[in-house]
C-alpha cells in the first residue's frame, strides 16, 4: 500500500523511526487536523518509510523523488539527537541549510526534542538554566507529562509581561486541546482564568511575588519557571532571589531541619516537597545565573530563528543621537532596491517618530507615482490602541509598510511581515538619582544584547536584513547588556515588598546585582517617613503590611491611609488610580490645540489632581446616565465609553485602566476595614490631604519665575502638560520630578506653604 504524503510528514515519520518524538503544532497551515490523524495512522501502521511515498523507485536512485527521499533521510539521520543535544528546529530548512524553494517548508514548522533527556536533567538538577529561545510553551507540557503535577501540584511560569502570559497560556491550551482555565490557565492583574483544576499556570513575576506574601513557600508549585530572565526587570531579579530562598527553605522543611515559624508560616498545612527551579534566558551567556545559583547546570536550546544578515555603516558616528536624515536615506534605499518585505525602524520616542514620518512623507511626494507605494506607520505605547492596531494590518497590495517604533517593538509586540530592521543604535532610558529624588530620561547607546534582539525582529518569518546605522567597531564598543533595572530605579516599592516577605536585612540581601548603598538608604528613609517602617527599620504594623499589599507605589498607598483620616478617601482613590496610568490626555500633534481646548473644560485652577478627578467623575456620570437610559449591555458600554473619550480627547484605554485600578484598590481598602467617605465639595480638605501625602515633593516659586524643589534644592520647571503650566502658583506639591531637556515637575496641585509645616509634623510621630 502506498500513501500520498508530503515531505514534512515524511520527515516526521523518518524521525519517529529514530525514536525522536515530534510535536506538530496546530497552527501550521500545512499540518491540518486531518493530516495529524493521517500521521498517527502512519506511525502506527508502517514500518518502512519507503512504503509511503508514491513514485519512489528504490531501483532508480537518480529519479527526482528518490533523490529527494534520500536527502530527507540524510537530514533525519544527521540531526544530532542521539548525542543527547536538545534540539528545536524551526522551520526545518533553517536548521539544516536547505533552500526554501527546494523544500516548500515555508510555513511548516515542528519541534523536535529529546524530551526524555530534558526531563532527566530536570529530575537530576533542582536548578536548571536554559538558554536560547522557543520553549515557553513546550517545556511546561513536558513537565506535566512527566508527572510533575501529581497530587494537585502546579507548574508556575512567570513572564515579564501580561501579553506574554496570556498568549502562551492560550497556545498551550490549544496544543493540549483543553479549554483555557482548565488544565492550563493564566493569571494577570485584572484577569484570572485559573481554576482549581489548573496545573499549568502562566502569570507575571510581580503577581507571583504577591502570592508569596500569602504562601511564603509557594507550596502549591512543584516547579517554577522564570521566563525571559535575561531582561532583568526588577520583578524577575527579586523573584530569582526569593525563589532561591524558597527552594532552600522547602528542602529544609522536607528534611525536617527547618525551624518552624519564620518563613514557614502560612504554608497552609500543605505537604511540603522540594521545589524545582528553571530559569530561561534568551541571552547566550548564562554565567550570571549559573554563578548566582552556585554553579547550576546550563543547557542550550537552539531557537527558532531565520538567518538575518547584518549590515553596518562605514561612516563613523560622532555622537549618539539619531540622525533622522540617515534613517530616511536607509528607508528609501530598502524601499527602492530590496525585495518585498516590511521595514521596522527603532527610534527613541514620539517626537523622533513623528519627524521621521513627516520626512518620509515629504520625500515620497518627490518620487514618481509607481515608486510611492510606501506606507509609514507609527507605534509607541502612548499611542491610542485604535492607531496602534494599524501596524498589525498587512499593507495594501503592492505597498510596503515602514513601521516607526520605540522599544515597544523590541519585546512587547511582534509585527507581522517585517523582513528589514533599521537600528540607529540608540535608546531612551530612565534612571533614578536617589540623592535628588529625580528621574532622568536620556538617549544613550543601546547594548549589544539589545542590538541583537532588534536584528532578530527581521528573521521571524523568513531570512531578513538588519541595517545598523553605526560601524562594526562601534558595535564592539557597546556594553554587553543593558544595566539591570534594579540598579537604576526607586527601590522603595521593592524594599517594602521584601520587608513584608520577612527579609529584614536589606543590605545583606542576596541580590544578583546589588543596588547602591545610597539607593537603599534613600528608600528606607522614605518608607520610614511614610510610616511603613518603624524607627529600627522593621515593618510597621499594620500600616506597613497594608501598604505592601496595595498594588501601588508606597507614596500612593500612604496617601490613601492619610485620606482615610482626612475623610476624602473616595477622592484619593480616584486620584491615585488616575495617577497610576500614563497619558490620560493623548493627542497627535495636529490636533493639539483642539485637545487643549477640550482639556480646559476639565481643568481646575488648583491643579492636575483636581482636573483628573473631574475627568473621572464626568466620565462616570455620563456612563451611568447612558446605561440607565438605554439599559445597555456590556458591549454597548464599551462603545459609549470610547465615544465619550473620543469627544473629550481622553485616551480610552488609559481611562479604562484607571477605572479597573479604582475598583481594585477600593476593594483593597475596604478589606483593610476603611470606610470610603467623600469630602463632598470641600476641596480644601482634599488639597490639604494632598499636601500631607506628597509633602516630600513640594516646590516653591522663586523670584525669576522658576521653582525650587524643596527636598533637593534643584531648580525646576512646570511641565507643559500640567494645567498649571501657564499660571505661576507660589507653592505646589508634585508627583514626579523628571529631567529631559530641562528639570520638569509633573502632576501638580497648588497648596498653601503653611500646610507643609503641618504635614511634616503629622509624620513626626
Partner DNA sequence: GAGCACTGC
Binding positions for DNA, rule: CB under 7 A: 160-163, 188-189, 204, 206-207, 210, 233, 235, 348-351, 380-382, 406-408, 412, 428-430, 441, 493, 551-553, 580, 582-583, 585-586, 592, 719-721, 725-726, 738, 740-742, 744
Distance CA 151, CA 198 (A): 12
β-strand 707-709 against 698-701: which pairing, if any?
antiparallel
Instruction: Indicate the residue among 299 and 427 with the shorter CB distance to DNA.
Output: 427
**Measured between alpha carbons, how far is 452 from 133 in angstroms, rounded to an integer?**
13
C-alpha cell at 252: 529544609
Number of DSSP helices (H) and strands (E) in the chain, helices first: 27, 23
* Inter-residue contact 136 to 163 (CB < 8 Å): no
In this structure, are residues 276 and 223 in contact, taking their beta carbons and an 8 Å threshold? yes
Length of the chain in residues, anyone? 765
C-alpha span between 578 and 190 (Å, rounded): 16
DSSP string, 736-747: EEEESSSEEEEE
Q: Are strands 342-346 and 400-405 parallel, antiparallel or unpaired?
A: parallel
CB within 8 Å of 353: residues ≥ 6 apart: 347, 378, 380, 404, 405, 406
- Contact predicate 397/387, CB 8 Å: no
Closest distance of CB 43 from DNA, Å: 40
Backbone dihedral angles phi then psi of residue 262, each to the nearest 5 degrees: 50, -130
The nearer residue to DNA, 179 or 381, going by C-beta atoms, is 381
C-alpha cell at 286: 548564562
Q: How far is the CB of 47 from DNA (least distance, A)?
A: 50
SS (H, E, C) 447-460: CHHHHHHHHHCCCC
Please give the full DSSP string across 419-434, using - where no structure is assigned: EEEEE-SEEEEEEEET
Task: Give the Cα separation of 639 and 634 in Å (integer).
Answer: 9
731-739 and 743-750 strand pairing: antiparallel
C-alpha cell at 753: 506653604
Amino acid at each position: 500500500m502506498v500513501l500520498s504524503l508530503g515531505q514534512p510528514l515524511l520527515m516526521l515519520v523518518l524521525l519517529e523511526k529514530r525514536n525522536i518524538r515530534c510535536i506538530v503544532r496546530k497552527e501550521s497551515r500545512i499540518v491540518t487536523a486531518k493530516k495529524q490523524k493521517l500521521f498517527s495512522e502512519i506511525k502506527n501502521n508502517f514500518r518502512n518509510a519507503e512504503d509511503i511515498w508514491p513514485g519512489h523507485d528504490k531501483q532508480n536512485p537518480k529519479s527526482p523523488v528518490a533523490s529527494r527521499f534520500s536527502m530527507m533521510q540524510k537530514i533525519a539521520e544527521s540531526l544530532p539527537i542521539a548525542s543527547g543535544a536538545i534540539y528545536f528546529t524551526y522551520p526545518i530548512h533553517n536548521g539544516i541549510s536547505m533552500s526554501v524553494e527546494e523544500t516548500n517548508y515555508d510555513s511548516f514548522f515542528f519541534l523536535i526534542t529529546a524530551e526524555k533527556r530534558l526531563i532527566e536533567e530536570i529530575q537530576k538538577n533542582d536548578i536548571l538554566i536554559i538558554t536560547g529561545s522557543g520553549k515557553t510553551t513546550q517545556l511546561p507540557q513536558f513537565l506535566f507529562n512527566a508527572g510533575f503535577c501529581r497530587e494537585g501540584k502546579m507548574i508556575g511560569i512567570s513572564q515579564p509581561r501580561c501579553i506574554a502570559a496570556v498568549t502562551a497560556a492560550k497556545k498551550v491550551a490549544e496544543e493540549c486541546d483543553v479549554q483555557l482555565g482548565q488544565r492550563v490557565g493564566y493569571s494577570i492583574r485584572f484577569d484570572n482564568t485559573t481554576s482549581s483544576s489548573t496545573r499549568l499556570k502562566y502569570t507575571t513575576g510581580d503577581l507571583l511575588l504577591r502570592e508569596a506574601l500569602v504562601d511564603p513557600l509557594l507550596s502549591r508549585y512543584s516547579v517554577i519557571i522564570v521566563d525571559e530572565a535575561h531582561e532583568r526587570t526588577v520583578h524577575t531579579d527579586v523573584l530569582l532571589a526569593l525563589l532561591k530562598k524558597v527552594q532552600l527553605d522547602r528542602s529544609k522543611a522536607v528534611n525536617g531541619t527547618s525551624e518552624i515559624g519564620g518563613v514557614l508560616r502560612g504554608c497552609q498545612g500543605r505537604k511540603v516537597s522540594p521545589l524545582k527551579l528553571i530559569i530561561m534566558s534568551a541571552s547566550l551567556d548564562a554565567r550570571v545565573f549559573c554563578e548566582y545559583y552556585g554553579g547550576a547546570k546550563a543547557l542550550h536550546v537552539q531557537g527558532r530563528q531565520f538567518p538575518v544578515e547584518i549590515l553596518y555603516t562605514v561612516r563613523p558616528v560622532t555622537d549618539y543621537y539619531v540622525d533622522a536624515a540617515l534613517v530616511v536615506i536607509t528607508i528609501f534605499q530598502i524601499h527602492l532596491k530590496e525585495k518585498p518585505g516590511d521595514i521596522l525602524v527603532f527610534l527613541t520616542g514620539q517626537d523622533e517618530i513623528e519627524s521621521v514620518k513627516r520626512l518620509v512623507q515629504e520625500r515620497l511626494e518627490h518620487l514618481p507615482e509607481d515608486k510611492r507605494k510606501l506606507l509609514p506607520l507609527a507605534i509607541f505605547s502612548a499611542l491610542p490602541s485604535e492607531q496602534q492596531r494599524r501596524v498589525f494590518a498587512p499593507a495594501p497590495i503592492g505597498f510596503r509598510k515602514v513601521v516607526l517604533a520605540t522599544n515597544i517593538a523590541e519585546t512587547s509586540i511582534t509585527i507581522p511581515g517585517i523582513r528589514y530592521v533599521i537600528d540607529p543604535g540608540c535608546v531612551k532610558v530612565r534612571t533614578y538619582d536617589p540623592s535628588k529624588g529625580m528621574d532622568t530620561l536620556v538617549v544613550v547607546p543601546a547594548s549589544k544584547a539589545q542590538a541583537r534582539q532588534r536584528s532578530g525582529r527581521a528573521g521571524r518569518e523568513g531570512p531578513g536584513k538588519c541595517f545598523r546605522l553605526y560601524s562594526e567597531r562601534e558595535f564592539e564598543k557597546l556594553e554587553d547588556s543593558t544595566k539591570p533595572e534594579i540598579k537604576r530605579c526607586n527601590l522603595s516599592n521593592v524594599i517594602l515588598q521584601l520587608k513584608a516577605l520577612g527579609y529584614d536585612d536589606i543590605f545583606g540581601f542576596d541580590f544578583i546585582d546589588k543596588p547602591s548603598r545610597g539607593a537603599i538608604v534613600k528608600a528606607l528613609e522614605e518608607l520610614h517617613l511614610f510610616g511603613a517602617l518603624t524607627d529600627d527599620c522593621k515593618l510597621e504594623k499594620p500600616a506597613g503590611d497594608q501598604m505592601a499589599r496595595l498594588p501601588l507605589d508606597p507614596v500612593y498607598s500612604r496617601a490613601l491611609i492619610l485620606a482615610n483620616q482626612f475623610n476624602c478617601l473616595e477622592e484619593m482613590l480616584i486620584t491615585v488610580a488616575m495617577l497610576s496610568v500614563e497619558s490620560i490626555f493623548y493627542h497627535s500633534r495636529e490636533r493639539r490645540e483642539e485637545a487643549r481646548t477640550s482639556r480646559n473644560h476639565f481643568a481646575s485652577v488648583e491643579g492636575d489632581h483636581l482636573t483628573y478627578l473631574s475627568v473621572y467623575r464626568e466620565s462616570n456620570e455620563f456612563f451611568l446616565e447612558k446605561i440607565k437610559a438605554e439599559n445597555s449591555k456590556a458591549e454597548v458600554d464599551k462603545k459609549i465609553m470610547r465615544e465619550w473619550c473620543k469627544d473629550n480627547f481622553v485616551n480610552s484605554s488609559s481611562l479604562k485602566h484607571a477605572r479597573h485600578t479604582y475598583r481594585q484598590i477600593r476593594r483593597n481598602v475596604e478589606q483593610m476595614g476603611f470606610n470610603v467617605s467623600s469630602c463632598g465639595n470641600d476641596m480644601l480638605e482634599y488639597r490639604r490631604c494632598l499636601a500631607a501625602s506628597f509633602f516630600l515633593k513640594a516646590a516653591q516659586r522663586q523670584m525669576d519665575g522658576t521653582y525650587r524643589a524643596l527636598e533637593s534644592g534643584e531648580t525646576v520647571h512646570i511641565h507643559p502638560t500640567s494645567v498649571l503650566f501657564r499660571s505661576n502658583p507660589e507653592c505646589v506639591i508634585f508627583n514626579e520630578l523628571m529631567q529631559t531637556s530641562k528639570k520638569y515637575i509633573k502632576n501638580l496641585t497648588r497648596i498653601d506653604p503653611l500646610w507643609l509645616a503641618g504635614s511634616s509634623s503629622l509624620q513626626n510621630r
